[in-house]
């Protein structure tokens, strides 16, 4: 076979091979083939959560974010899949409700262990403003020194009690109603504070 015949037979195939290899090589090197949607992170892996909000709102957001992670881990699903399921379905299953409550408790404990829970006195003003109390009672409570508040109320204990008080199923029903949500959380926190104070008094006597 002459060199000229060889060029005629192999010239175009070689040019084509080089062109295809070059195009695919550049695309793969630039991330082609991995251009896919974000994969959900492992909910069982520890994740740092932050909030743009301060005070009780910020604390609540962090507890909810960590709580949903922990609940998803318990249910063997992703945080995103669980969130979508809870947001889209009318009636969550008992397993989901139980996992969510347990997840919220895990979240409170984790924040407590990490030293990320503020003392009760830091949250007291905001909690009193949100609570529907008699003006004189509210003024009296505001007059208490921080050390007394912090001595009487342990934030982690109050939050764990509040999680137990929460009607998680009703809360999920009210996801699209911020006022109802706030009222439900506030009621649970007030009840938790009352229970914590009563238990503290019982311990004193």
Partner 1 sequence: MRRVVTALLVVTVALVLADSAVVTLALPEILLELDTTVGEVAWVLISFNLVLALVAVPTAWSLRVTSPRVASAVGIAVFAGASAWCAAAGTIEVLVAARCLQAVGGALALLGCLELLVASYGERRGVATWITAGVVGTGLGPVLGGLLTEAISWQAIFVVQVPFAVLAVPAALTVAAPREPPADRHRPAVRANLTLAVLSAALVAASFLLVLLLVEGWRRSPATAAVTVSVVPLAALAARPLARALRTPPTVEVAVGCFLVAGGLVGLAVPPSAHLAWTVAPQVLVGLGLGMTVDRLTERALEQRLPRARHAAWTIGARHAGIVLGLALLTPVFTADLREAEAPAQEAVTALVIDAPLRPEDKVAVAEALGRQLQAERGQVPDLAPAFASLDLDPAERPAADDLERALDDQLERAATAAFRDSFLLGAGLALLAMLTVALPGRRRHP
Q: Does the footprint of partner 1 cover residue 7 (CB under 8 A)? A: yes
Q: Which of 1, 2, 3, 33 binds partner 1 (CB under 8 A)?
A: 33
Q: Does the footprint of partner 1 cover residue 139 (CB under 8 A)? A: no
Which CB contacts under 8 angstroms, 24+ apart, belong to 180-184?
182/130
Q: Which of 6, 42, 44, 84 binds partner 1 (CB under 8 A)?
A: 84
Angle between the N-to-C axes of helices 94-113 and 55-75, in degrees from 0 to 180, rounded to the nearest 10: 120
Q: Does the footprint of partner 1 cover residue 48 (CB under 8 A)? A: no
Q: Is the dihedral of CA 65, 56, 191, 178 positive or negative?
A: negative
Residues 6 or more apart in contact with residue 109 via CB below 8 angstroms: 156, 160
Q: Does the footprint of partner 1 cover residue 78 (CB under 8 A)? A: yes
> Given the structure tokens 């301060």, which residue do they identify?
54
Q: Does the footprint of partner 1 cover residue 145 (CB under 8 A)? A: no
With CB under 8 A as the rule, give the number of residues binding partner 1.
Answer: 46
Question: Which residue, 67, 66, 62, is CA-closest to 96?
Answer: 67
Would you tell me which residues interact with partner 1 (CB under 8 A)?
7-9, 11-13, 15-17, 19-20, 23-24, 26-28, 30-33, 35-41, 50-53, 57-58, 60-61, 65, 78-81, 83-84, 87, 175-176, 178
């Amino acid at each position: 076979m002459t060199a000229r015949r060889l060029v005629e037979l192999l010239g175009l195939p070689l040019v084509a091979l080089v062109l295809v290899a070059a195009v695919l090589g550049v695309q793969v090197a630039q991330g082609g083939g991995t251009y896919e949607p974000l994969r959900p992170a492992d909910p069982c892996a520890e994740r740092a959560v932050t909030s743009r909000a301060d005070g009780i709102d910020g604390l609540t957001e962090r507890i909810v974010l960590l709580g949903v992670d922990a609940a998803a881990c318990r249910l063997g699903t992703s945080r995103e899949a669980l969130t979508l399921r809870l947001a889209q379905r009318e009636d969550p299953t008992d397993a989901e409700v139980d996992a969510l409550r347990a997840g919220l408790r895990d979240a409170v404990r984790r924040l407590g262990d990490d030293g990320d829970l503020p003392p009760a006195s830091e949250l007291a003003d905001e909690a009193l403003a949100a609570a529907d109390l008699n003006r004189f009672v509210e003024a009296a409570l505001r007059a208490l020194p921080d050390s007394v508040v912090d001595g009487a109320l342990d934030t982690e204990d109050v939050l764990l009690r509040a999680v137990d008080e929460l009607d998680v199923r009703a809360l999920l029903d009210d996801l699209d109603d911020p006022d109802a949500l706030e009222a439900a959380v506030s009621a649970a926190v007030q009840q938790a504070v009352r229970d914590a104070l009563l238990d503290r008094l019982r311990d004193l006597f």
